[in-house]
């Protein structure tokens, strides 16, 4: 019976060790697009969420580390109950660090059709483009393990009438421009996540 319990314990320990994931710190993304209107923080949040779903890393956000550092300082000042304070030196260092830059973030509108004296038939298309440049660095060696830029796209076509007298298009879209850009961003993020999952990561 004792041997069986020892065997079960050993299997559980090995299983826990095998399931241990490498730690990844995600730094704040940068907006390097020409337009300068990309929501870098929201894009980073999307990346963290999708990586967490993929189960590739134990994730750490640098801004959360700053928050923990503030909590430690409060404990050292005696402002927090010592029994609940975070201990110095107990935070595990990440093996890898991710940096990200949004290098393209815009949408275009194109249309075509024919005109009659008052009304005409027209088709308009909105396409959003988002380019996300990602790097993952091995903190132990400073070697870049992963680097790639992935283009995300989202397109929507609407058909309607063209009022030639005033020169405006009468039609409807299912998604707003912001929605198209968000979809294009997710497309870029998911391409990165798929490529990252294909790598054999080690702690």
The pLDDT tens digits for 39-79 are 999 999 999 999 999 999 999 876 666 666 666 666 666 65
Of the ranges 27-36, 62-71, 105-114, the best mean pLDDT one: 27-36
pLDDT value of position 190: 97
pLDDT value of position 193: 97
The share of the chain scoring above pLDDT 90, in percent, equals: 45
Q: What is the pTM for the complete model shown?
A: 0.69
pLDDT value of position 91: 62
Angstrom distance (rounded) from CA 51 to CA 154: 21
**Side-chain-facing half-sphere of 110: CA atoms under 13 Å:** 5
Q: Residue 183 — very low, low, confident or very high, per pLDDT cuts 50/70/90?
A: very high
pLDDT value of position 18: 43
Q: Which residues of 91-126 are buried (b: 16+ CB within 10 A; e: fewer)?
A: eeebbbbbbbbbbbbbbeeeeeeeeeeeeeebebeb
pLDDT value of position 177: 63
Q: Show the CA angle centred on residue 192, arms to residues 40 and 105, nearest 5°.
A: 40
Angstrom distance (rounded) from CA 195 to CA 187: 13
């Amino acid at each position: 019976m004792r041997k069986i319990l020892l065997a079960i314990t050993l299997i559980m320990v090995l299983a826990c060790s095998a399931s241990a994931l490498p730690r990844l710190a995600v730094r704040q993304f940068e907006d390097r697009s020409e337009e300068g209107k990309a929501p870098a923080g929201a894009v980073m949040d999307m990346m963290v969420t999708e990586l967490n779903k993929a189960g590739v890393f134990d994730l750490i956000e640098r801004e959360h580390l700053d928050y923990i550092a503030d909590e430690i300082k409060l404990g050292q000042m005696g402002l927090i109950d010592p029994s609940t304070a975070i201990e110095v030196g107990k935070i595990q260092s990440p093996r890898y660090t991710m940096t990200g830059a949004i290098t393209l973030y815009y949408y275009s509108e194109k249309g075509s059709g024919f005109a009659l004296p008052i009304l005409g038939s027209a088709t308009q298309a909105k396409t959003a483009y988002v380019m996300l440049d990602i790097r993952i660095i091995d903190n132990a060696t400073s070697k870049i393990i992963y680097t790639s830029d992935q283009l995300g796209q989202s397109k929507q076509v609407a058909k309607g009438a063209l009022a030639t007298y005033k020169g405006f298009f009468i039609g409807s879209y299912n998604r707003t421009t912001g929605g198209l850009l968000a979809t294009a961003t997710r497309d870029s993020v998911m391409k990165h996540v798929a490529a990252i999952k294909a790598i054999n990561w080690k702690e």
